[in-house]
Amino acid sequence: MLRYISRRLLSILLSLFLIITATFFLMRAAPGGPFSGEKKLPPEIEKNLNEYYGLDRPWYNQYFDYLVSIAKWDFGPSFKYKGQTVNDLINDGFPVSFFLGMESLLLAVSLGILLGVIAALNHNKWQDYGAMIFAVLGISVPSFIMASLLQYVLAIKLGLFPVARWESLQHTVLPALALAATPMAFIARLTRSSMLEVLSNDYIRTAKAKGLSKGQITVKHAIRNALLPVVTYLGPLSAAVLTGSFVIEKIFGIPGLGSQFVLSISNRDYTTIMGVTVFYSILLLFSVLLVDIAYGLIDPRIKLAGGKKGE
């Protein structure tokens, strides 16, 4: 186990190094310098700015400095917001995004599993078809369309929820739902197919023969075993929630890191784009690792020593 984790950590570090290097050189190759706005700056000022941000030094120095500062968890200053660092932006925005993400994760997992189990228990009945139509909808509708429709119908037309902003728990319902829709659909499909597989196993028949009630069989024997594939999906799920948040936060006017990221894209705020990308990558890589470890703990049949994904 320890060997496995240290191996994984090493490969995570390699991936991170690759990401940081790629972001660094991509951003250097990006058209237009950080200060080339509408107005042409006087050369003296530009020189001063370049000096201040260390942009006049050779690239390998800059690159090395960047690696060192990221190792110290310092993402540097924002080029568009004077006086703010990327760390400030992350510290401000991330708690909001984290709350929203957790809420929709919870929604996606609980509702998804519920739908999947109902569908599998009523295989080929209307509940099954209903749940699967719902799941297909969730998979085929892009998140920004889903979010706009939810906002339009439930908030603007019916007035059931606040339209936008981030104030009370009520404000979080619609964005969390919109964010959860696609992953929920995936989980429902996954749960359904693995439930169906588990239900056809011999030990279920044994349990029935022993005279256990349907509820006991479902909860104690079927669901527990059917949930394993769902656990593996948690890694990609966190990625989906994270990238989904860019769009959802923008639509619902939520001051999270996702909307900040989108803003920095349209502002071409290179240091922020770099910093947030690296931050998100770290987050994702470690959540995938956590999921893999959890998977090994839940199902002792899985051997972690191989250390290869997808096997």
Contacts with another protein by CB under 8 A lie at: 11-12, 14-15, 18-19, 22-23, 26-27, 29-31, 136-137, 139-145, 148, 152, 156, 192-193, 196-197, 239, 242-243, 246-247, 251, 262, 265-266, 268, 273, 277, 280-281, 284-285, 288, 308-310
| Minimum gap (Å) between residue 140 Cβ and another protein | 4
Burial class of 204 by CB neighbour count within 10 A (0 to 12, 13 to 18, 19+): middle
| Minimum gap (Å) between residue 152 Cβ and another protein | 5
Q: How far apart are CA 245 and CA 296, in angstroms?
A: 29
Distance of CA 84 to the CA centre of its chain: 25
Alpha-helical runs (H) found in 152-304: 169-199, 202-209, 214-216, 224-226, 228-251, 257-267, 270-298
22 vs 45, beta carbon nearer another protein: 22
| Minimum gap (Å) between residue 48 Cβ and another protein | 26
Query: Helix, strand, or coil here: 123?
Result: coil
Instruction: Decide: 284 and 243 in contact? Cβ < 8 Å.
Output: no
Q: How far apart are CA 63 and CA 174, in angstroms?
A: 42
45 vs 160, beta carbon nearer another protein: 160
179 vs 242, beta carbon nearer another protein: 242
Q: How far apart are CA 301 and CA 305, in angstroms?
A: 12
| Minimum gap (Å) between residue 210 Cβ and another protein | 26
| Minimum gap (Å) between residue 80 Cβ and another protein | 14
| Minimum gap (Å) between residue 213 Cβ and another protein | 25
DSSP single-letter state for residue 1 = -
Burial class of 120 by CB neighbour count within 10 A (0 to 12, 13 to 18, 19+): buried
90 vs 285, beta carbon nearer another protein: 285
Helix axes 86-121, 169-199, angle to 10 degrees: 40
Query: Helix, strand, or coil here: 76?
Result: coil
50 vs 243, beta carbon nearer another protein: 243
212 vs 268, beta carbon nearer another protein: 268
Distance of CA 266 to the CA centre of its chain: 21
50 vs 281, beta carbon nearer another protein: 281
Identify the sign of the CA torsion 245, 251, 254, 257: positive
| Minimum gap (Å) between residue 95 Cβ and another protein | 20
DSSP single-letter state for residue 78 = -
